[in-house]
Amino acid sequence: MQRRHWLAALGISLIAAPLAAEPDSRQQEMVDLAWKRGCFNCHDLDTTLRGPAWRDVGERYQDDPEALERLIPIVRNGGGGNWGDEFMTANRRVPEEDIRQLVEWILTLRSTESSVQN
């Protein structure tokens, strides 16, 4: 009987392991894409650099169903005034699909502190 429990536990762990690893692999995929596209020149996940920390962005817009469609053109064309005096540089050479994927992912992030600037 104990062998069945052990086999059942093993089976569950083999199924659950890839599911548990998925969010980390998705984050790594998006971090790699952000590095490739030069996003980390101005941004960081947790620290405000020239631009806001992405976790702060995700937290600020978490309840805004229109945020994705509003932020994509800002990332593409540049913009300013939403996070202080800094102006976001246009990213016209970055494919639209890459921008969409990155913004979708950023909008899922949450700040580790209550450091969102309003």
Domain that holds residue 50: 23-106
Report yes or no on 116 lying in a domain.
no
Q: How confident is the model at residue 20 (pLDDT cuts 50, 70, 90)?
A: very low
Binding-site residues: 39, 43, 88
Cα–Cα distance measured from residue 118 to residue 10, given in angstroms and rounded to the nearest whole number:
48
Q: Report helix, strand or coil for 79.
A: strand
Report yes or no on 36 lying in a domain.
yes
Binding-site residues for heme c: 39, 43, 88
* Tens-place pLDDT, residues 52-78: 999 999 999 999 999 999 999 999 999
Report yes or no on 6 lying in a domain.
no
Residue type, 74: I
Q: How confident is the model at residue 23 (pLDDT cuts 50, 70, 90)?
A: low
Report yes or no on 10 lying in a domain.
no
* Tens-place pLDDT, residues 32-41: 999 999 999 9
Tally of CA atoms within 13 A in the half-sphere of 40 that contains its CB: 10
pLDDT score of 3: 53
Count of the separate structural domains present in the chain: 1
